[in-house]
């Protein structure tokens, strides 16, 4: 849905004391419905449309963000409107305003040097979320249903995944649940500017799931090829090891989690490939990004590699938790 600038400025009027009467408004991502705002006072914010798809109540997300800030986790909490509300606009089609976290983009060949720091911050994030005691009104991740449902994969990949699917599910079924991020991709992890550490964004899922389900999603992306095609051939495994080495400095992974993690990384890429194929085939009416086909191809190539290198991925996990 495309918005006219006048429509967005009308929403921003609810935060006039923060942004002023004539803030600057720039498109960050029309498809994701995210816009950058610069107030007349010089501060930077993001305006985000929540849209009709909700994984949990907005107030629950707001309260979790406040809790995380109190725990020392760097997140962009929703800013209250001039009337003291969390959102602006109609209840079923509302907007939130967040302060921008200044961050830097690292080249691919430098990322593995920072993965330990991300692992440390992720462990702190998980510990903080586990200490949140109020009900969220969220959902429990249906890992079994996703993995055992109809998967839209090429036949050869599907047959090879079938051979290990039950083992993956058995290992994951043993793990305790807690509140997790739920969309824990590298794009939602920020390297903050001026040496201010690691920040996290996009907390609109917050399901109950094993904590390594977050770790698996992040590392499943690090195993892909497209993001690091100009970097060292070893950088993908270096990222896995460094992230886990950082994580366990704060919170140890038990043996069941260690054994389940490689399969969870494979399962995540399988689920995302099937999801993206369903969108491409028109079965799922979801927005499609310009590089959708390239992302799908990259994911399928990664699944093929993972299925051929199960022992190598497991060895990288063990090296990471043994540092």
* Helix spans in 210-254 (H): 211-222, 235-250
Which option is the CATH number for 108-321: 3.40.47.10, 3.90.1200.10, 3.30.70.20, 3.40.50.720?
Answer: 3.90.1200.10
pLDDT digits (tens, 9 = 90+) for 152-198: 999 999 999 999 999 999 999 999 999 999 999 999 999 999 899 99
What percent of the chain stands above pLDDT 90? 87
Whether the Cβ atoms of residue 20 and residue 41 lie closer than 8 Å to each other = yes
Q: What pLDDT is stored for residue 1 in this prediction?
A: 54
* Helix spans in 88-154 (H): 108-111, 115-130, 143-148
Q: How far, in Å, are 54, 76, 112, 251, 253 from residue 246 at the CA level?
A: 33, 23, 12, 9, 11
Q: What pLDDT is stored for residue 30 in this prediction?
A: 64
Whether the Cβ atoms of residue 188 and residue 200 lie closer than 8 Å to each other = yes
Whether the Cβ atoms of residue 129 and residue 203 lie closer than 8 Å to each other = no
Q: What pLDDT is stored for residue 178 in this prediction?
A: 97
Q: What pLDDT is stored for residue 52 in this prediction?
A: 74
Residues of the chain with pLDDT under 50: none
Chain mean pLDDT for the chain: 95
Homologous superfamily of the 5-100 domain (CATH): Phosphorylase Kinase; domain 1 (3.30.200.20)
Q: What pLDDT is stored for residue 15 in this prediction?
A: 98
Q: What pLDDT is stored for residue 31 in this prediction?
A: 67
Residue ranges of domains in the chain: 5-100, 108-321
Nearest to 212 by CA among 242, 181, 238: 181
pTM for this predicted structure: 0.96
Do domains 5-100 and 108-321 share one topology? The answer is no
């Amino acid at each position: 849905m495309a918005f006219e600038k006048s429509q967005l400025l009308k929403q921003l009027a609810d935060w006039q004391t923060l942004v002023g009467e004539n803030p600057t408004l720039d498109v960050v991502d029309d498809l994701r419905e995210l816009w950058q705002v610069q107030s007349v006072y010089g501060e930077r914010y993001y305006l985000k449309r929540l849209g009709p798809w909700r994984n949990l109540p907005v107030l629950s997300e707001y309260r979790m963000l406040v809790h995380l800030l109190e725990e020392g986790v760097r997140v962009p909490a929703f800013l209250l409107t001039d009337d003291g509300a969390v959102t602006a606009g109609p209840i079923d089609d509302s907007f939130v305003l967040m302060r921008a976290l200044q961050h830097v983009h690292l080249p691919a060949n430098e990322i593995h040097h920072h993965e330990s720091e991300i692992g440390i911050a992720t462990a702190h994030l998980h510990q903080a979320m586990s200490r949140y005691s109020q009900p969220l009104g969220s959902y429990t991740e249906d890992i079994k249903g996703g993995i055992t449902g109809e998967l839209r994969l090429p036949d050869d990949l599907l047959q090879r995944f079938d051979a290990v699917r039950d083992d993956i599910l058995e290992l994951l079924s043993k793990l305790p649940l807690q509140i997790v991020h739920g969309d824990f991709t590298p794009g939602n992890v920020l390297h903050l500017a001026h040496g201010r550490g690691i920040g996290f964004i996009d907390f609109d899922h917050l399901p109950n799931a094993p904590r390594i389900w977050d770790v698996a999603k992040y590392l499943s992306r690090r195993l892909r090829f497209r993001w690091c095609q100009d970097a060292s051939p070893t950088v993908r495994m270096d990222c896995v090891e460094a992230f886990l080495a950082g994580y366990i400095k704060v919170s140890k992974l038990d043996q069941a989690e260690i054994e389940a993690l490689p399969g969870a990384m494979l399962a995540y890429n399988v689920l995302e490939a099937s999801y993206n194929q369903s969108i491409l085939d028109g079965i799922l009416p979801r927005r499609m990004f310009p590089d959708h086909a390239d992302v799908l191809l990259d994911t399928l190539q990664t699944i093929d590699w993972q299925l051929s290198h199960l022992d190598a991925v497991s060895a990288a996990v063990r090296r990471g938790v043994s540092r």
